[in-house]
Chain A
Amino acid sequence: MRGPHDVGGTPTGPVDTDPHKMTFWEKQIDAIHTLLGDEKRHITTRDENRYAIESLGHDAYARLTYYERWTAAMAAQLVRKGVVTQDEIDAKVAEIKQRLEETGEIE
């Protein structure tokens, strides 16, 4: 089974090779990823997260940006390992969404 990441040799459109700056949230995700695997926590590793990204499925993999994939994979692993529950993540997302709506940062 060919994973969604393993695209070498398959037809594609033009490739965007412009360098782009990382946004703040992307840096945060990168930092959290490192912290989850550090000597103190040992919650997950780079290899496990790669496998989790490859396991997101073709649709999600195509739809998500690079760091969105990291985020989805990390969330899936934290739930699978019992560090947080999906309900806790959903509740936190709802709380943040409401706060941002109140401040007008999102519609």
Chain B
Amino acid sequence: MSTALEAAFKEGQRVRVREDYPPGHIRTPFYIRGKVGHVVKALGEFRNPERLGLGLDGSPKKTLYKVRFQQADVWPNYNGPVHDSVDIDIYQHWLEKA
């Protein structure tokens, strides 16, 4: 990975998804905004789809993370097995320290 955009979050770190609802081409699912999970790994740097969606070149690139959430933290009254989780790929600008 280049040093231009060093991963701001480390493996295992707890992160909260921004609870924002802006217009535009947003790849962060609605249901996960505001939820807390932990970083599984940084996946690399990719062109920003929010800007690509507008016909721009997608720069600057953003680091994408695989983030794991416990289903019980995502859904109210979740009654599946306690260890159930969901992994979602989320761009760095949608994450903050939790």
Contacts and interface: CB of A to CB of B under 8 A. Distances in A.
Interface of A: 1-3, 6, 8-9, 44-45, 47-48, 50-51, 54
Contact of A8 (B29, B52, B58): B29
Contacts of B32: 8
A50 B75 contact: no
A4 to B, nearest CB: 11
Contact of A47 (B23, B31, B53, B75): B53
Given A50-B25, A51-B25, A54-B25, A2 B30 contact: yes
B55 interface: yes
19 contacts: A2-B21, A2-B30, A3-B26, A6-B29, A8-B29, A8-B30, A8-B31, A8-B32, A9-B30, A9-B31, A9-B75, A45-B52, A45-B55, A47-B25, A48-B53, A48-B55, A50-B25, A51-B53, A54-B25
Interface of B: 21, 23-26, 29-32, 49, 52-55, 58, 75
Contacts of B30: 2-3, 6, 8-9
Given A47-B58, A48-B55, 13 more contacts: A1-B21, A3-B30, A6-B29, A6-B30, A8-B30, A8-B31, A9-B31, A9-B75, A45-B52, A47-B25, A48-B53, A48-B54, A51-B53
Contacts, number: 35
Contacts of A50: 25, 53
Given A44-B55, A45-B52, A51 B31 contact: no
Nearest to A77: B55
Contacts of B26: 3, 6
A86 B88 CA distance: 39
